[in-house]
């Protein structure tokens, strides 16, 4: 039944709740990558300069990652459903502004607005999921679906972007969000119960939120700009130092605030903290893989946008299969094995990608590597998100989910920015030594995949540490969120 003081459905169908919140998250993840194959067309149409074009993607990553902690706090303060509805509406409006943008500046500003709306929507969606699926087995399966969206959404964004650019117009990569968002907003009051207005609301530490948000924004902005300002330049060093000072201020504020932005009880669960770091490292490798492999397919193999998108289907299939199997195994065997084995398998797939050349066969080389990488990442992300949110009670669900997505977005932004700088420097060195442009480019891509494989290897080591820490801590205590589901199979919300 719905909570006292709430309105809406007396009970909810958990499958419909899962479908709704995952649809919203899927749209956000698609927008991480959907613009990649459209960038050349967008640049020509809106007269972007070579340096400013990257901000079509970076503006979204920057604001999404920067405002997530505020989003998590607002989910717990304003209520999960209220924030979900408001931020979804804002995301739809920002998507419309992107699709109708008349010039470069407007598009970049609209992409930043999309990122802010996404930063509020994602933690609200995951908090709803955590509140709906309270029994451990059901929650593990629901989180398996959620985790699978990370790679599936990114790969689908490339496929959908390629199809829309080739068959319609680049503006539809944004306008397609409008009908999806409208249907979700209409269905929302019929699927999700209203927030409990009688429950005491925890007012988050907005001073801490400002410090944390500014630290993340400055860090990501500084790293993204290293393609034009070297790592040793005064501007880059000053930006990193400023981000460090803000981060220290944030940490000090969290120690003294009456209502810290990140509840201290969450920080005391060591396996949760380590799992967040693992998400950050793994996301850096995953999204960088999409970035460099798309460049390889289009610039080296000269594939069309639609063929590029279709080439990621093996990855999506592998990740979907591994996610489904791992989610079932979590209920009986725990997360220890997939936490280690998943990133290790993904590392092997990415190392295989690093062995490519200008004439590499898709069927014999790229497709098997993508399947292996998808299997590993599907296994890893289900397990790590399960651990990263498993110690949070219902009242902390928004913050715990925001921490996961913050690490994911920051890892993606920093991973791409750092690897682009390293790959560009290597390409320039190869050109200076007399190599032709194609050979130099392939060498730089191979180096990027080697580093991504190393990142996944680090994620596997972190997974082993997470598993060991969780084993030492013992089983988590039972809490109200672990109560069994009612016999009718429907779970109350609110």
Query: Are 143 and 275 a contacting pair, CB within 8 Å?
Result: no
CA-based nearest residue to 358, from 301, 312, 303:
301
Quote the mean pLDDT of the chain: 81
Query: Are 471 and 336 a contacting pair, CB within 8 Å?
Result: yes
* pLDDT tens track for 90-130: 999 999 999 999 999 999 999 999 999 998 998 888 888 87
The Cα–Cα gap between 244 and 465 comes to 26
- Where does the pLDDT of residue 178 fall: very low under 50, low under 70, confident under 90, or very high at 90 and above? very high
Q: What is the mean pLDDT of residues 151-164?
A: 79
Q: What is the mean pLDDT of residues 134-143?
A: 74
Position 481 pLDDT exceeds 80: no
| The pLDDT value given to residue 401 | 65
The Cα–Cα gap between 117 and 155 comes to 22
* pLDDT tens track for 39-80: 878 888 998 875 577 788 878 877 887 787 777 777 767 888
CA-based nearest residue to 379, from 454, 460, 451:
460
Radius of gyration from C-alpha coordinates of the chain: 22
Q: Which two tokens stand for residue 63?
A: 């604001």
Q: Which two tokens stand for residue 279?
A: 């998400």
Q: What is the mean pLDDT of residues 460-476?
A: 79
Q: Which two tokens stand for residue 439?
A: 């050979």
Position 298 pLDDT exceeds 90: no
Q: Which residue has the higher pLDDT, 475 or 251?
A: 251
- Where does the pLDDT of residue 413 fall: very low under 50, low under 70, confident under 90, or very high at 90 and above? confident
Half-sphere exposure of 55 (CA within 13 A, CB side): 18
Query: Are 71 and 120 a contacting pair, CB within 8 Å?
Result: yes
Domain 14-204+261-474 has CATH 2.60.40.10: no
CA-based nearest residue to 266, from 337, 202, 336:
202
What are the residues facing 491 on neighbouring strands? Answer: 12
Percent of the chain residues past pLDDT 70, beyond the cut: 84
* pLDDT tens track for 337-347: 999 999 999 99
> Structural domain boundaries of the chain?
14-204+261-474, 206-260
This prediction has a pTM of 0.77
* pLDDT tens track for 192-240: 877 766 555 566 677 887 888 788 888 878 887 777 788 889 999 999 9
Q: What is the mean pLDDT of residues 240-269?
A: 82
| The pLDDT value given to residue 90 | 96
Q: Which residue has the higher pLDDT, 5 or 212?
A: 212
CB contact burial 309-342 (16+ within 10 A = b; e otherwise): bebbbbbbbbbbbbbbbbbebbeeebbbebbbbb
The Cα–Cα gap between 118 and 378 comes to 23
The Cα–Cα gap between 136 and 490 comes to 15
The Cα–Cα gap between 7 and 365 comes to 55
Q: Which residue has the higher pLDDT, 110 or 406?
A: 110
- Where does the pLDDT of residue 400 fall: very low under 50, low under 70, confident under 90, or very high at 90 and above? low
């Amino acid at each position: 039944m719905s909570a006292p003081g709430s309105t809406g459905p007396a009970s909810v169908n958990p499958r419909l709740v899962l479908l709704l919140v995952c649809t919203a998250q899927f749209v956000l993840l698609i927008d991480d990558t959907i613009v990649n194959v459209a960038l050349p067309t967008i640049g020509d149409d809106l007269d972007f300069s070579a340096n400013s074009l990257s901000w079509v993607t970076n503006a979204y990553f920057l604001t999404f990652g920067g405002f997530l902690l505020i989003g998590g706090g607002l989910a717990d303060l304003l209520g999960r459903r209220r924030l979900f509805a408001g931020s979804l509406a804002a995301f739809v409006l920002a998507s419309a502004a992107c699709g109708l943008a008349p010039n470069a500046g407007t598009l970049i500003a609209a992409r930043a607005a999309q990122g802010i709306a996404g930063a509020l929507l994602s933690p609200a969606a995951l908090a709803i999921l955590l509140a709906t699926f309270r029994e451990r087995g059901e929650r593990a399966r629901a989180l398996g679906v959620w985790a699978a969206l990370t790679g599936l959404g990114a790969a689908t964004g490339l496929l959908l972007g390629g199809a829309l650019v080739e068959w319609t117009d680049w503006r539809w990569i944004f306008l397609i969000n409008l009908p999806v968002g409208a249907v979700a907003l209409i269905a929302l009051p019929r699927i999700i119960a209203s927030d409990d207005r009688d429950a005491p609301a925890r007012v988050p530490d907005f001073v801490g939120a400002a410090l944390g948000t500014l630290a993340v924004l400055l860090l990501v902005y500084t790293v993204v700009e290293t393609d034009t300002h070297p790592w040793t330049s005064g501007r880059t060093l000053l930006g990193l130092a400023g981000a460090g000072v803000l981060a220290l201020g944030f940490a000090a504020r969290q120690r003294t605030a009456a209502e810290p932005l990140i509840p201290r009880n969450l920080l005391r669960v060591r396996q949760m903290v380590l799992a967040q770091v693992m998400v950050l490292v793994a996301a850096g490798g995953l999204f960088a893989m999409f970035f460099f492999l798309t460049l390889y397919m289009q610039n080296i193999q000269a594939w069309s946008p639609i063929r590029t998108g279709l080439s990621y289907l093996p990855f999506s299939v592998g990740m979907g299969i591994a996610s489904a199997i791992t989610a079932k195994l979590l209920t009986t065997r725990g997360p220890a094995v997939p936490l280690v084995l998943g990133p290790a398998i993904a590392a092997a797939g990415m190392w295989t990608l690093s062995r490519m050349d200008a004439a590499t066969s898709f069927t014999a080389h790229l497709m098997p590597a993508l399947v292996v990488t998808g299997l590993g990442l599907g296994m890893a992300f289900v397990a790590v998100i399960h651990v990263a949110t498993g110690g949070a009670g219902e009242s902390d669900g928004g913050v715990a989910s925001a921490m996961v997505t913050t690490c994911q977005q920051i890892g993606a932004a920093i991973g791409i920015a750092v690897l682009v700088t390293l790959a560009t420097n290597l390409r320039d060195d190869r050109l200076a030594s007399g190599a032709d442009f194609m050979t130099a480019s392939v060498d730089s891509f191979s180096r990027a995949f080697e580093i991504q494989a190393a990142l996944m290897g680090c994620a596997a080591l972190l997974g082993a540490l997470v598993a060991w820490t969780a084993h030492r801590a013992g089983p988590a205590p039972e809490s109200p969120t672990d109560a069994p589901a009612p016999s009718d199979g429907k779970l109350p919300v609110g």
